[in-house]
Amino acid sequence: MKVILITGRTFMQGVGMEAGKDSDVYKENAAVCYITVDDMDKLGIKEGDNVKIKTKYGEVVVKALKSKDEHDGIVFIPLGPWANAVMGYETDSAAVPTFKGIEAEIEKTDENVLSLEELIRKTYIEG
């Protein structure tokens, strides 16, 4: 399914970050994405299933969570290395990359969510 990705801060990602980047709280709150109930139905997934997100910049597996907000067609990922694995790097001469509004393909997957260190080794260093 085609969606638009946006990233941003969440309260719990903040708590996780302050608890430590290598902590479980952080992974639980950053290696996720928020999808509306309608979109979940369309994808044929339920809360807690893993999804694979693909953009022209890369792909990443995260856990799907139910969004309480109304934003069909938009998938929200908290700031963090999982999000960055699929976000753009072009800054359009404005220094800041486009962290919001990237076109993506999203699908159900059986693959596991990588830990922070695995993610970096696999997709950043080796990839």
Partner 1 sequence: MHYTDVVCTFCGTLCDDIEVTVEDNRIIDIRHACRVGASKFFKASDIKHRRTKPIIRENGREIEVSLEEAVEKASEILADAYRPLLYGWSSTTCEAIKYGVFLTDLVGGIMDNTATVCHGPSVLAFQEVGYPSCTLGEVKNRADLIIYWGSNPLHAHPRHLSRYSFYPRGFFRERGMQDRELIVIDVRRTDTAKIANKFIKVEQGKDYELVSALRYVLNGGVLKKDYVAGVSREEIYELVDKMKSCSFGVLFFGMGLTQSSGKHRTIDNAISLVRDLNRFTKFNIMMMRGHYNVTGSNEVLAWETGYPYAVDFSRGYPRYNPGETSAVDVLVRGEVDAALIIASDPVSHFPKEAVKHLLRIPYISIDAFYNATSMFAKVYIPTAVAGIECEGTAYRMDGVPIRVRKIIEPPEGVLSDEEVVRMIYEKTMEKIKERIEEEAAEKVIV
Would you tell me which residues interact with partner 1 (CB under 8 A)? 4, 6-11, 14-15, 18-22, 57-58, 67, 69-71, 74, 76, 79-81, 84-85, 87-89, 91-101, 116-117, 120, 123-125
C-alpha distance from residue 3 to each of 55, 110, 117 (Å) = 10, 20, 27
The nearer residue to partner 1, 1 or 79, going by C-beta atoms, is 79
- Minimum distance, C-beta of residue 51 to partner 1, in the bound complex (Å): 19
Query: What three-state secondary structure class fits 110?
Result: coil
The dihedral built from the CA positions of residue 19, 21, 25 and 29, taken in this order, carries a sign that is positive
Residue 60: CB minimum distance to partner 1, A:
9
Distance of closest approach, residue 23 Cβ to partner 1, in angstroms? 8
Q: What is each CA distance from 41 to 37, 44, 46, 77, 107, in whole angstroms?
A: 6, 5, 8, 19, 12
- Nearest to partner 1 of 65, 110 (CB atom): 65
* H-state helical runs in 63-123: 81-84, 116-119
Nearest approach, Cβ of residue 20 and partner 1 (Å): 6
